């Protein structure tokens, strides 16, 4: 029982530490987000310039960018999740 309680407390501490904002984490988040937005907008611009008919509408471009961002959100926010490999090694 004591082992499970200690593990739960360690997990809670790891989660709090992972969510803590530091200048390095914020900087990496900004850089990853900007790089991602640049790549997606460049790809959409290139495809619309090549004549893909669906991407000539601005609203469809915006919707596609939003869907791709939603799919990439876990990768972009990975800095703020607790490290699962450290949790597994403790068990």
CA distances from 75 to 13, 18, 70, 79, 82 (A): 22, 15, 10, 8, 13
Mean pLDDT value across residues 32-53:
89
Give CA–CA dist 17/19, Å, rounded.
5
The SS3 of residue 91 is coil
φ and ψ of 22, to 5 deg: -130, 155
Q: What was the pLDDT predicted at 91?
A: 47
Put simply, whether the predicted model's pTM sits higher than 0.75 gets the answer no
């Amino acid at each position: 029982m004591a082992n499970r309680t200690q593990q739960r407390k360690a997990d809670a501490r790891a989660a709090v530490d992972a969510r803590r904002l530091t200048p390095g984490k914020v900087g990496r988040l900004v850089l990853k987000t900007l790089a991602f937005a640049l790549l997606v907008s460049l790809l959409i611009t290139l495809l619309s310039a090549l004549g893909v008919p669906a991407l000539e509408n601005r609203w469809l471009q915006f919707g596609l960018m939003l869907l791709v961002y939603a799919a990439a959100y876990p990768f972009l926010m990975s800095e703020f999740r607790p490290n699962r490999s450290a949790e597994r090694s403790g068990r």
